[in-house]
Structure 1
Amino acid sequence: MVFAVVALIALLVVLIGWGKVPPFVAFLLTALVAAFSFGMPLDQVAKSMEKGVGDMLGGLTAIICLGAMFGRAIADSGAAQSIARTLIDAVGLRFILLAMALTGLIVGIPLFYSVGFVVMVPLILTIAKRANLPPVYVGLPLLCGLSVAHGFLPPHPSPVALISLFNADTGLTLGYGLIVSIAALAAGGPLLALTLKRLNAIPQAQAGAETSFAVAETDEARTPGAFNSFTTALLPVLLIAVTTVLMVTMPATSPGKPLVGFLGQSVVVLTLALIYATFSLGVLRGQAFTGQMGRYADALKDVAGILLILAGAGALKQVFVDAGISDQLGAWLTALPLHPLVLGWLIAMVIRVALGSATIAGLTAAGLLQPVIAASHVDPNLMVLAVGAGSLMFSHVNDPGFWLFKEYFGLDLKGTFLSWTVMESLVGVVGLLCVMGLSLVV
């Protein structure tokens, strides 16, 4: 049984990594092979896959789509750049690495990683040029902040999906995730950057590269104010944090508790945040409402691929469950001489190294680990973070983020491994250590 599961994961890796099959199709093909291999009745195969797709997307589609639109509002308005300028002005060049790291974390909460990367790189290059500092030295802490948010914090797709699959609590996962994120960010951001100050790099924008690398920085006079930018970007975190605290502290018989529970649901939080951002960053600053809606429609197109990956992963997971493999695999994994959190981290890391996608690594690992959580009684919130940490490990040549960083900053392969790959690996290792530490006290 274990050999069969390993072979199926290897098939998934080959289809995506070597065959360049779209992940959604690769997941479905692997699910079909799994169903036939484990002897599922033919009339149940399609039903099982459909159930898996529906269960996975049912609770996540709205969250991911709302998150994409909210992130687009932050990016297009210039709020992300306003946050960066404010933090840098507040601390000065002496603590610029700290300012860049905090910027990456704050901006990374509402923005999907690729969007945040493209939005913030022009500002990084501008600051580096004005301060006469190496671009990698200035930019790595900010990009580390984006990566940390992508791996650990909702409403990013992988953490949100893992929370759903593991039946974790969004508020607690966010709280623990912020603790883990700060520690991982310190190690992979400012501390690592101090060792890379002499790393030779010529950014594409400075080398006369094609216009695809020359993203225009928003004029400071057209960006929203600092208070407006911070308040809007952090509104989802604030709402989740406040409602989580109130749910814990309010008496069970309090008449207001159902309302607080309703307001703390992720879909409600993001809906309220999107409405607020539409007016605070758009309509009230003179932007046409219809123009805002057009940008939101474009944002929805950007998440189509993510939703399809989630759908395919749901199909494979459900076949494992309906064929009875999840229970057998869970019993076998639980018997291994590894802490369940380390096991989750390790499985996600192996898939990440093989496939290069943090989202696919996290979702594939989750499908294998669901029975482990039930059998071991490990904290599901911490398992979300352990898998997230593993999914960030050792980014290399099969990861699009690796090449984005290399090309934007004009690095050679060695320099990219020494900076980007080491940064991602530090985040993953420190993240696991923090999760293990939390497991001793929660």
Structure 2
Amino acid sequence: MFGEIWPLITVVIGILILLALIILLKLNTFISLIITSMITAILLGMPLDKVVETVEKGMGSTLGHIAIIFGLGAILGKLLSDGGGATRIADTLINKFGEKNVQWAMVIAAFVIGIALFFEVGLVLLIPLVFTLAKRTKVSPLKIGLPMITALSVTHGFLPPHPGPVVIAKELHANLGQVLLFGIIIAIPVTIIAGPLFGRIAPKLTPTAYTREGDISSLGAQREFKPFEMPSFGISVLTATLPVILMLIATIVQLATGSVDGGKNIIEKIIYFIGTADTAMLIAVLFAMFTMGVKQGRKNKEIMTSVTEAIYPIGMMILIIGGGGTFKQVLIDGGVGDTIAKMFEGSTMSPILLAWIVAAVLRLALGSATVAAISTTGIVLPLLQASDVNVALVVLAIGAGSVICSHVNDAGFWMFKEYFGLTVKETFLTWSLLETVISVSGIIFILFISLFV
């Protein structure tokens, strides 16, 4: 009996080791993940000559696909930011909606911008605008900031080309276009529920949080664009959403024709080629170089500076994602997934719900949404091989679980707290609760859709 559950005990030990290395010893997350992966592999009884091989396999297989999308995504976001496109989108929507509906304007702006920009980049870009609007409309920064954070968090957790959904889709061999299509269907109602609607309840839960002035001085001076320095609203939105549009077109054609692999004729093959994540992101970046660079009168040297500067901040994040991949591979090769699969033989529990639960538990323990998501794939993959569940929905379920209840072991918790000048208790009642609403409402909509597909 003990031998049968040892793999699960090992997972718990591995998580505890990881927490101790990061929280107690203050070690870098990437280094901690590699150490934890090796120790976990040894505890699982893996031959010593296979440990390093498994670690390298996990790192390579995870980054082999994500590095391209992650790098191009960072470049697209930087070009959109430096070219004034992101600012144009936000300004236009705010002007159209007016001061009374500024929350809805911020949600839509953050959703559109969040498709192209990674969470941290979008946060740094939009928070100064939040404080400017709060001052102009004489309301709490949190009243405008909470809906904005919601949209960024939802796109980060549910929509490719963000790293989490892309990595999970690759590991589970899911169709990325379907993940995107279902992700948008789910993301819209989740954003409305967790954004403006939850924003009405939050002030009653913690009224003192809405009296804070906040502090964004750590972000430094932000560039202000004059109207003539920015591209048009239409071009800005097209640039931000182009990779999504290309991937959706390929998915819709695939669903309409019933083609599974490659396409039946040259036209389909071209559409599928353009609609793959890597190609779509590359086309979007080249398009952004023109719309956010050449068309704006920026010199080639300036454009390439934006490209270069986009890569520097994501170097460590790429390594952390790779480190999460090594831990995932150890769980797979060490038989943890097979153990769980045996435990759930004959179980009526949906693999979608189980995937969400596992991701949520790992998120609460580890803090990092991306690491929790990647680790979950190694645990649930064997279950999917004996199930006819839609894998794209499992991807989204893991994404939903991985954003639940951000707390003190997550960097996002502290960023939110400091920017809005909140106490720890107020941060729990706003940020942590918001992330939980996103996660729970997300899995509810995912399970609902699973009844029909």
Per-residue CA deviations over 1:391-412 (Å, capped at 9, x if unaligned) read 1111122222122222222222
Contact 2:110 / 2:152 at 8 angstroms: preserved in 1?
A: yes
Letter in 1 for 2:167: A
> C-alpha displacement at 1:355, in angstroms?
2.3
Equivalent residue runs for 1:4-403 within 5 Å: 4-196=10-202, 199-205=209-215, 210=217, 212=219, 215-250=222-257, 253-333=264-344, 338-403=349-414
**Counterpart of 2:54 in 1: which secondary structure?**
helix
Letter in 1 for 2:109: T
Take 2:91 and 2:143, find their aligned partners in 1: how far apart are those partners?
A: 17
> C-alpha displacement at 1:128, in angstroms?
1.6
Contact 1:136 / 1:196 at 8 angstroms: preserved in 2?
A: no
Take 2:359 and 2:26, find their aligned partners in 1: how far apart are those partners?
A: 20
Letter in 1 for 2:32: A
Take 2:293 and 2:184, find their aligned partners in 1: how far apart are those partners?
A: 29
> C-alpha displacement at 1:55, in angstroms?
1.2
TM-score norm. by structure 2 comes to 0.92
> C-alpha displacement at 1:69, in angstroms?
0.6
Letter in 1 for 2:403: L
> C-alpha displacement at 1:337, in angstroms?
5.8
Contact 2:59 / 2:325 at 8 angstroms: preserved in 1?
A: yes
**Counterpart of 1:376 in 2: which secondary structure?**
coil
Per-residue CA deviations over 1:295-325 (Å, capped at 9, x if unaligned) read 2112112111221122222222223333334
> C-alpha displacement at 1:270, in angstroms?
0.2
Per-residue CA deviations over 1:99-143 (Å, capped at 9, x if unaligned) read 111111111111011110010011111112222222111121111
> C-alpha displacement at 1:211, in angstroms?
5.1
Take 2:149 and 2:335, find their aligned partners in 1: how far apart are those partners?
A: 42
**Counterpart of 1:154 in 2: which secondary structure?**
coil
**Counterpart of 1:256 in 2: which secondary structure?**
helix
**Counterpart of 1:203 in 2: which secondary structure?**
coil
- Give the % identical residues: 36
RMSD value over aligned CA atoms? 2.0
> C-alpha displacement at 1:215, in angstroms?
3.7
Contact 1:239 / 1:264 at 8 angstroms: preserved in 2?
A: yes
Take 1:337 and 1:7, find their aligned partners in 2: how far apart are those partners?
A: 28
Take 2:218 and 2:226, find their aligned partners in 1: how far apart are those partners?
A: 18
> C-alpha displacement at 1:31, in angstroms?
2.1
Q: 1:281 to 1:334 in 2, by over 3 A?
A: farther
- Structure 2: where are the runs of 5+ without partners? 1-5
Alignment match, 2:3: none
Take 2:412 and 2:227, find their aligned partners in 1: how far apart are those partners?
A: 28
Letter in 1 for 2:66: L
* Range moving further from structure 2, 185-194 or 91-100: 91-100
Take 2:402 and 2:335, find their aligned partners in 1: how far apart are those partners?
A: 26
Aligned residues: 439
Take 1:190 and 1:63, find their aligned partners in 2: how far apart are those partners?
A: 31
**Counterpart of 1:109 in 2: which secondary structure?**
helix
Take 1:76 and 1:423, find their aligned partners in 2: how far apart are those partners?
A: 30
Alignment match, 1:440: 451
**Counterpart of 1:375 in 2: which secondary structure?**
coil
> C-alpha displacement at 1:269, in angstroms?
0.2
Letter in 1 for 2:119: Y
> C-alpha displacement at 1:213, in angstroms?
5.6
Take 1:172 and 1:264, find their aligned partners in 2: how far apart are those partners?
A: 12
Q: Structure 1 residue 417 and structure 2 residue 431: aligned?
A: no
> C-alpha displacement at 1:38, in angstroms?
2.6
> C-alpha displacement at 1:375, in angstroms?
2.5
> C-alpha displacement at 1:30, in angstroms?
2.0
Per-residue CA deviations over 1:326-384 (Å, capped at 9, x if unaligned) read 32233225566632222111111122122221111111212211112223332211111
Contact 2:229 / 2:296 at 8 angstroms: preserved in 1?
A: no
Take 1:84 and 1:335, find their aligned partners in 2: how far apart are those partners?
A: 51
> C-alpha displacement at 1:210, in angstroms?
4.0
TM-score norm. by structure 1 comes to 0.94
Take 2:399 and 2:316, find their aligned partners in 1: how far apart are those partners?
A: 20
